[in-house]
Each structure stands twice: as C-alpha cells, then as structure tokens.
Amino acid sequence: MSLKTLIPWPLLLLAGLAACASGGPDKPTERKFYKNPQVRQCLDLDRDRRATEAQACWSKLLNRLESDSAFREASELSDADLAKVRRKSGQSVRRTKGLRRELDKCFNITSAQRDERLTCFQAYLDANRTRLSVAERYEVETAITAMKQARERVEGKIENTVEHAGKLLGAQLHLEDEGVRIDTIEPGPLALAQVPEQGIIVAMDGIPIVELDPAERIARLEACQDRQVSLLIRQGGANQVSFRLTECRCGPEGSGKLIWQERMPAEVCTTANSPELKLGISWCYLSSDGVLEVEQVCKESPADLAGVEPEHQYVRLNGELILGMTPDQIAKALEAFPANPIEFKARGGALQSPSPLTGQALDTARAERFWKAVQKAMDLEDETSGP
C-alpha cells in the first residue's frame, strides 16, 4: 500500500503548499544576488576559470560592500548576500594562492636541473592557460623561451658569451651576482638609450636578474635581436641610488630609448605620516634591492588579518615589481586603500605572500597609537644593541 493511500489528499495538498511557501521567499533574494551586475561579472570570471581576474573582482566587490555604505544600499544585497561574497572571495584567494604555489615549485627547481624546470613550466602553462591573465601567461611563456635558448647555448648550438650580448647592445658587459655590469659604452642601443657606464642591469622584461641563471640572462639580452628588450639599470652607492628604465632593439635597425629615470634614497623607513601605518605595518624600503622589509605589524589590523608578518620581504606591490619604484609611487599605491585592496608578493614565494589586504583602514587615533608602539620598540632595540 502506498503512502498516498494512507494520507488524505487534502493533507497532501496542504503539505505541498507548505513546502512551496517555505521555499518561496528565498527565490527573489537568490535572483537579486545573481542578477547584481558586479556579482555577475565575478561569477562570469569564475565560470571562465580566469582565477586571477576573478580573485581581484571578488576582493574589490567585497571591499566596496564593507567600506561604502551608499554602494551597499544601492546594490540591494542582504547580509546573507554579503556573507556569500565573503565566501566567494575567500575561495578565489585560495585558488590563486594554489596556482602561485604551483608556479613557485617550478621557480624553486635549481638552474642545474634546467630540463626538469622547463618541463615544470610547460606543464603548468598547459594545465592553467585559461586561468592566467595575459601578463601571467607572458611571464611563463617568456621564461620557457629563455630556458630553451639557454639550453641551446649550453649545448653549443648558439653562441653563449656575455661578450656577444655586449656587441649586440654596444657595451662591454660583465656578469655579477646582483646583475649584469656595464663596464664601457660604445655606439649602439645602450648609448642611444642614454645608459651610463658602470651601471648594473638589475631586471630584464620585469624580472629581477637574481631570479635568472647566467645562461638565461644572456638569452634575454640577446633576445634584443628579435624584439624590444626592457632593461632596468641601477647606479649609486650607500646613500643614494638611481634607476633608468630603457628599451633596446639590436640589429641593422637597432634602437634605444630612455623610458624614465628616478633618483632616491637607498633606504626609507616608516615615519609618523607614512601611509602604511593605516594598514597596520611599519617597514623599511630597501630601494637598491627593491624590497619592502616588514618590521612591525599592528594586531587585528588589515595587515595582520591578511597574514603580514615581521621580517617578510615583499618584492611586488599590486602585481608590479617594486624594484625601481620611488617611495612616492609606493605611497600613492597605498593611498588607494581601502577603496581598493592591496596585494603583496613576498620574496619567499606564495607561502609567505599574504592574502589581499581589505577591510577598514586604521583610524587616525589607532594609527598614532601603533606608531608610538613602533617607536617604543625601536628605542628598546637601540638600548639593547648599544655599547
């Protein structure tokens, strides 16, 4: 005997109506969430597996909902919707950090294991091509090309000397641990780019020299025969450093152009009016190396909640290489907070890189208290390290 024969049909009808009634009120709310244009944009990026762009989209939306009451009201999103955006944002951050951990595994393979490193990069690109932004794909593809050329040079298939690279660029070059030193300048692309003698090439195509083995450095320099090569050149001593960004092309139609040049102190540390205080951070900017070295973190601040820790060293800010940035450029990027999230990439890779910094900035009073605590810690350190 079926259940229907045991229960009178009016009761079944009432039960059915009750079930519809209990599920009814949620549907308009669901529709409102999924029809919201900002939510729709982020969901579309998730659907297309564009992980990095989706993470930025969710982080930006969450930050606006939490910091801009007028935007929150206009969006007509409920508290439950806000919780859903938080979950989506957290999921997207975990996905992008997972991608970065995969890529860091390839970077951490030593130069001596070039074939294994090349295989790792190619597998990463094949598996994640649609998830990466154009800039990220370019970074990996350029690394693969440089490693292939470096392998050919080691095998003797292509001339593998820094002297040859120097002839192409019009200079005598010398490989050093921290970069490629320009000993003398001759007529050629570097001269056209107004590059001085005794400068050091510290980055090529937006990649720090220290991340490249000698053969890859030469391969990237000699790529000037096929395309424009971007060179960041540093000069200076203990107190002041200067940077020049140039673009060079070698060959019969060789060219060289100075894009920009800046001069700055070799070290700049947090002061009472520094914008990083509202994030809950004090640091020193080591401009020669392009490193933001964290010193103190305020408890329960945006920085603390994101996972920033003392002694972390950050080399990218919002995806941009810090090497060559002026202190004013860094300050300007930080001033966009809290309207826009702040992202750092650590020298130690994804495992030390924090989540994007979001939420409310420290108010003036709390930032001042944090600064006083920083000063007190510095005074105590001076006392303990004194004679």
Q: What is the pLDDT of residues 33-84, one digit of tens each?
A: 888 888 999 998 888 777 878 888 888 888 888 888 888 888 888 888 888 8
> What top-level class would CATH report for the domain 162-265?
mainly beta
Q: What does the alpha-carbon distance between residue 279 and residue 336 come to, in Å, rounded to a whole number?
A: 11
Q: Given pLDDT bands bounded at 50, 70 and 90, which one contains residue 381?
A: low
pLDDT value at position 211?
84
pLDDT value at position 383?
62
Lookup: tokens for 197: 């003698």
Lookup: tokens for 356: 């994007």
pLDDT value at position 3?
40
Reported pTM: 0.62
pLDDT value at position 114?
72
Intrachain domains 162-265 and 268-375 with the same fold: yes
Q: What does the alpha-carbon distance between residue 61 and residue 339 come to, in Å, rounded to a whole number?
A: 10
Give, in order, the Cα–Cα distances in Å from 258 to each of 12, 54, 187, 231, 245: 81, 35, 15, 10, 6
Domain residue spans of the chain: 162-265, 268-375
Is the predicted pLDDT of residue 382 greater than 70, yes or no? no
**How many CB atoms within 10 Å of residue 64?**
19
Q: What is the mean pLDDT of residues 236-261?
A: 90
In terms of CATH, what superfamily is 268-375?
PDZ domain (2.30.42.10)
- Bond prior to 252 in cis (omega within 30° of 0): no
Out of 29-33, 102-106, 192-196, which region has the weakest mean confidence (pLDDT)? 29-33
Amino acid letter, 272: A
